[in-house]
Amino acid sequence: MMIRTLTFFLLTGIVLLSLGSCKKEDQREIDQELIEAFILEHQLDADSTSSGLYYVIDEPGSSEHPTINDVVTVNYQGFFINGPVFDQGFDVTFGLNQVIAGWQEGIPLFGKGGKGLLIIPSHLGYGDRAKAGIPANSILVFEIHLIDF
């Protein structure tokens, strides 16, 4: 466990040192390496989509799934891959078409009542823009519970 932790932080440090002059394609590769290290470190059984979104379904929920045009109610906690929580909400309701691309793609993977994890690369989050305490090029991790839609 200690070796994996050291490996994760060493890889993270090396990757972060190279961030100064990277292009968008390079950022996607960096994100993927960091996400894969996070998944390995936390021994997650994660799947991915073609866009680079990673997800873990802990409880699938019902067979009903929301679409981009639905209004959803969720409980969530958002944190960075290195641990700090940056946001959380309980019984939060919003139009799915009003949130980051990672949520637009990831929330419909859950049925009503479903729970799991979304690991969102920066290009499906806020990209190269900083946003209210979230640095540019941040990988975002969300624990999600889809209450209703």
Q: Can you tell me the distance from the alpha carbon of 35 to that of 125, in angstroms, rounded to the nearest whole number?
A: 14
pLDDT score recorded for residue 142: 98
The correct answer on CATH 3.10.50.40 for the domain covering 2-148 is yes
pLDDT score recorded for residue 4: 47
Tell me the pTM: 0.83
Angle between helix axes 24-41 and 2-17 (nearest 10 degrees) is: 170
What is the block-wise mean pLDDT of the chain (149 residues), using blocks of 10 residues?
A: 44 46 79 98 97 98 97 98 95 98 98 98 97 95 98
Q: Residues of 102-136 as b/e, b for ≥16 C-beta within 10 angstroms?
A: bbbbbbbbbbbebbbbbbbbbbbbbbeeeeeebee
Q: How far apart are the first and last CA of the chain?
A: 40
Structure tokens given for 37: 């290290």
Structure tokens given for 20: 């100064």
Find out whether 33 and 119 touch, Cβ atoms under 8 Å.
no
pLDDT score recorded for residue 9: 43
Task: For the chain, give every domain's residue range.
Answer: 2-148
pLDDT score recorded for residue 25: 77
pLDDT score recorded for residue 3: 47
